[in-house]
Structure 1
Amino acid sequence: MKTYQFIGRLIRYRSWNYIGSLCGNISFHVMGRLMFGLVLQAFFNELDTLAHISVRASTIPWLLLCALILVALIRAGVQIAALPPMLTCIFNTTALLQRNLLRYILQRPGARAIPGSAGEAINYFRDDTDIIDRLFGQIADMVGLVLFMIPAAIILLHIDVMITLCVFLPLFCVVTIAQTMRQRQQRLREASREATGLLTGAIGEIFSAVQAIQVAGAETYAVEHFSRLSHIRQRQILKDTVFFSALQSIFGNTVGIGTGLILVLAALYRHLSPGDIAIFISYLGTVTTFIVSAATLITQYTQARVSHQRLVSLLQGASEEILLNNDPLYLKQPVPELSTPLKTELDTLTVLDVNNLAYHYPDTGRGISHINFQVRRGTLTVITGRIASGKTTLVQTLLGLLPKDEGEITWNGKSVAEPAQFFVPPHSTYTPRCHICSVTHWRKISCSACLPSTWSCHRRSN
């Protein structure tokens, strides 16, 4: 699926909210900015006319002043009214992507649920969904700016073609040059995000292997590794922030440069009225915003395409329709109650048979093969072996946490087609082992509980 098709499907998920926000943006730019400039032009031209004919009393300037205030209030009201639909659309689509991704990951074999580290997956959930949804607002804003630019260009060219070209062509060149520098900013942004992902992954690995670090006496090395990654992230984010601030200063000063050019050209040509100068200055900021927004939209679409590919990579070959599944999110309505599974006679174990079970890791080819055993009710089965002999792999393959390559699992004589769906409560529970034997096996079995004295005597006698 192409990225623009993916974006379109997401927009259709909350189409009415997006249409409401789109109408608000169009009204803001056309009614608020275009009409405001025209009324401002008429107001200053009327003041200039009254000054030349020496008329002291006139209601027209007051009416135009009231019109300016009214247009400004309408613009503010439209801007406020357009905000909730857009926020609703963005929040719902973000929640939809994150919910669908999380649900799919939880349904995958638990030992290979995500292709990378947990830290990288968290960055995908947080950053990439946000980049895709921010594109919605940029598209809506760009539509309003285009509908503003068409009549605004006609109005300004009608006033003076030469001044319009002399003012906006240099500004267009300045903004275009600045936008070409955004490619470097994009590289810096990607580097900072990669550094953040490495640091986040390192934090997760350190906290998940605290005992291993302590037993190996590697606390100093772990802290040094964390400090090195933190320093790299700090340096990358600092570069990104400084470069972004430089670009923003260029864009911010563009309006001031354009205003100065308008005043200089007005002094040279001397035929521009105060209203013409006012409308030029009024439209100048929006025209600059249009140029910046057009380049930003292209950049954000490129970012969204990368984010789209990263989200699809979490599906590990599954259909992209999983991301667009529009089941209810229950953001406002009450969440349905979860039903507790009832244990029946069929759920009670009589005999569990494992025949010719096999699994091999795709990256190394190592794994387990030709595993056969039987577990009967009331018995205890212990799987032993040397380190890395495949004990954990066997248990995870049996429970469906790893997809079996071949073999059959039967529960009370009935074949288990989906072990990951079947071996859950009330059929079974699973507690992963601790990789460091920091306590005795008895304390692990008893969970350090205070057992009856008869149990303790029996343990000592054995």
Structure 2
Amino acid sequence: MVYWWNVAALLRANVLRSVLTARGPAAARLPHSPGESVARLRDDVADAVDFTDESVSLAGTTLFAAAALAIMATVDPAVTLALVVPMIAVGVLSTRLRRVIGRLHRRARTLGAAVTAYVGEIFGGVLAIKTAGAEAAALERLREHNRRRRAAAVKDRLATELLDAVTGATVELGIGLVLLLAAPAMRGGDFTVGDLALFTSYIGWLTALPRTIGAVLYRLPQAAVATERLTRLMAAHEDAADLSAGTGVHLRGEPPPVAGPPRHADPLRVLEARGLTVRHDGGERGVHAVDLRIERGSCTVITGAVGAGKTTLVRALLGLLPLDEGTITWNGVPIDDPGTFLVPGRVAYAGQVPRLFSETLRDNLLLGRPASDHELGRALELAAFEADLAGMPDGLGTVVGPRGVRLSGGQVQRATVARALVPAPDLLVVDDVSSALDVETERLLWDRIATGGPETLLIVSHRQAALERADQIVVLDRGRVAGRGRLAELLETCPEMRRLWSAELIAEAEERAGK
């Protein structure tokens, strides 16, 4: 048996499956803010399920009404016709109002999602709002969002209630018509008391038909809007059929264990990118015609000033951003979709902004993947986290809080690196851990990874410890390659590298002096 919550779970699971596994750049998979996406998964799924729930009873009600009308027509066709006419009128009115209801409902849902998205932004930016003293302005903008949402919701509700009221009125109108038309026939004896009892008993059952039809008709445009909004969250090639496809939602038992990433048959020999170009919003910002060659066993460091395009280059290489131009090959074979090819097992990525969930440290490291305690311990040791773990009373069972709020910035950063190390990738990509680590801790981190971690590293950093151990340094300046080579060579030939190196030496000296 299928219940409405089964259907709701299935729809949400299919949307999330598409968002998480669709081909193409990850940055393009969620075209809306997280708050608006959550609103769609909540409200639009409810609209689609409500329509399905109403539609289930429509078939039985229609069959019973058809049989009842056939029997009533054999008794008195005129009175039976009087009951049918109001139902036809309701159908015509519903058809006329369907487009209006759909438009009003789409606007109400859009504004409702905007409120949810803005509330999410407020919670995510509490510190920035308080620092700027903008609490009053933020609350006033929230009130304005709510005023617009309320006005749209009232209009949407008014239209649906109007149709519901008209549908309900047809029932009473039908009863009145039966009594008016049957009275003369009863005086003449053509319409007996038994006929009247038959009609009145069937009218009680027939009242469900216009109400059910009305509910289905006013929920139909709402369901159409909901389906459209949900499919827009999914991959471009997927439609309503994929939205409702059975994908195995586990409601009555535990899902089967998640298999680890499969070991690929083509271990990294060389990862090469040619002419990588990414333009943000179609402008000139981004990276332009960047070539990059990463050989197995090498350490490559990408460095540059703030805004030089370092993170953009790494995210484009891993398929997290859409490429405007350029090709990427793995062992000489072109990669059609880097986002689904360069995944754990081949590549692991520790981003510039670490992301932890409000779960235990163990769950944050595994993310559902199987791993032994030995593998976890090894990853934590490589990430220079074992001393921190020893100081936690619950160890790996420590709940880190939303976004890792119960950990320090350095602990969050190193936990993210440890998570990337768990699957033992061919290539480890680390994007600027310097912001949360002191000089000594970062040097220890690189020493341990160099001796016991993945053979091949791609690092975004400006720190001395990373630059000195690099086999290849790529210097970016305003999105273009300003120099390439080892540190000693670049200090002689690249003015931008000399400037960055001098600034870093001064910064590290000041950091040591401040301790």
Fold shared by both chains (TM-score > 0.5) = yes
Residue pairs, 1:5-154, within 5 angstroms: 85-87=1-3, 90-108=4-22, 109-154=25-70
Partners in 2 of 1:293 and 1:176 — Cα distance?
A: 15
1:198 deviates by 1.3
1:367 deviates by 2.8
Residue pairs, 1:362-381, within 5 angstroms: 363-364=282-283, 366-373=285-292, 381=301
Residue pairs, 1:142-181, within 5 angstroms: 142-170=58-86, 172-173=88-89, 176-177=92-93, 180-181=96-97
Residue type of the alignment partner of 1:445? L
1:199 deviates by 0.8
SS at match of 2:344: coil
CA 1:447–1:93: 2 relative to 1, 3 Å: farther
Check the 8 A contact 1:120/1:197 in 2, yes or no: yes
Which of 260, 268, 288 is matched with 2:176 structurally? 260
Partners in 2 of 1:118 and 1:447 — Cα distance?
A: 35
Partners in 2 of 1:447 and 1:116 — Cα distance?
A: 38
Check the 8 A contact 1:104/1:322 in 2, yes or no: no
Residue 437 of structure 2 corresponds to residue 445 of structure 1: yes
Residue 248 of structure 2 corresponds to residue 332 of structure 1: no
Which of 120, 124, 139 is matched with 1:223 structurally? 139
Check the 8 A contact 1:100/1:325 in 2, yes or no: yes
Partners in 1 of 2:286 and 2:81 — Cα distance?
A: 71
Residue 198 of structure 2 corresponds to residue 251 of structure 1: no
1:318 is matched with which residue? 237
2:198 is matched with which residue? 279
CA 1:283–1:340: 2 relative to 1, 3 Å: same
Check the 8 A contact 2:65/2:206 in 1, yes or no: yes
SS at match of 2:277: strand
Partners in 1 of 2:215 and 2:52 — Cα distance?
A: 13
How many pairs were matched up? Answer: 367
Check the 8 A contact 1:178/1:250 in 2, yes or no: no
Partners in 2 of 1:166 and 1:307 — Cα distance?
A: 37
CA 1:306–1:442: 2 relative to 1, 3 Å: closer
Flag the structure with more relative contact order, 1 or 2, with Cα contacts below 8 A and sequence separation at least 6: 1
For structure 2, the residue ranges without an aligned partner over 5 or more in a row are: 355-408, 411-432, 445-464, 466-507
Check the 8 A contact 1:400/1:423 in 2, yes or no: no
Partners in 2 of 1:350 and 1:446 — Cα distance?
A: 33
Check the 8 A contact 2:98/2:217 in 1, yes or no: no
Point out the more displaced range, 240-249 or 154-163: 240-249
Residue type of the alignment partner of 1:106? L
Residue 424 of structure 2 corresponds to residue 432 of structure 1: no
CA 1:251–1:380: 2 relative to 1, 3 Å: same
Residue type of the alignment partner of 2:14? N
Which of 276, 279, 287 is matched with 1:360 structurally? 279
SS at match of 1:147: helix
CA 1:212–1:240: 2 relative to 1, 3 Å: same
Partners in 2 of 1:326 and 1:193 — Cα distance?
A: 26
Check the 8 A contact 2:98/2:221 in 1, yes or no: no
CA 1:247–1:344: 2 relative to 1, 3 Å: closer
What whole-Å deviation, never above 9, does each CA across 1:28-52 have from its counterpart, x for those lacking one?
xxxxxxxxxxxxxxxxxxxxxxxxx
Point out the more displaced range, 291-300 or 100-109: 291-300
Partners in 1 of 2:84 and 2:317 — Cα distance?
A: 69
What whole-Å deviation, never above 9, does each CA across 1:217-245 have from its counterpart, x for those lacking one?
43332222111001211222233334444
Structure with the bigger percentage of strand:
2
Residue type of the alignment partner of 1:107? T
Which of 401, 417, 433 is matched with 2:320 structurally? 401
Partners in 2 of 1:155 and 1:93 — Cα distance?
A: 37
Check the 8 A contact 2:94/2:163 in 1, yes or no: yes
SS at match of 2:301: coil
1:363 deviates by 4.7
CA 1:186–1:318: 2 relative to 1, 3 Å: closer
Which of 208, 211, 222 is matched with 2:124 structurally? 208
1:43 is matched with which residue? none
Structure with the bigger percentage of helix:
1
Which of 303, 309, 319 is matched with 2:228 structurally? 309
1:351 deviates by 7.7
Residue pairs, 1:172-191, within 5 angstroms: 172-173=88-89, 176-177=92-93, 180-181=96-97, 183-191=99-107
Check the 8 A contact 2:94/2:218 in 1, yes or no: no
Q: CA RMSD in A?
A: 4.3
1:142 deviates by 2.8
Check the 8 A contact 1:152/1:283 in 2, yes or no: yes
CA 1:384–1:341: 2 relative to 1, 3 Å: same
What whole-Å deviation, never above 9, does each CA across 1:386-411 have from its counterpart, x for those lacking one?
44x43332221122211334445567
CA 1:288–1:364: 2 relative to 1, 3 Å: farther
Residue type of the alignment partner of 2:73? L
Partners in 1 of 2:262 and 2:78 — Cα distance?
A: 82
1:57 is matched with which residue? none
1:175 deviates by 7.0
Residue 228 of structure 2 corresponds to residue 236 of structure 1: no
Check the 8 A contact 1:375/1:381 in 2, yes or no: no
For structure 1, the residue ranges without an aligned partner over 5 or more in a row are: 1-84
Residue type of the alignment partner of 2:109? R
Residue type of the alignment partner of 1:122? V
Residue type of the alignment partner of 1:328? G
Partners in 1 of 2:125 and 2:440 — Cα distance?
A: 22
SS at match of 1:429: strand
Residue type of the alignment partner of 1:430? A
Residue type of the alignment partner of 1:196? G
% identical aligned pairs: 28
SS at match of 1:428: strand
Check the 8 A contact 1:353/1:373 in 2, yes or no: yes
1:203 deviates by 1.8
Check the 8 A contact 2:273/2:293 in 1, yes or no: yes
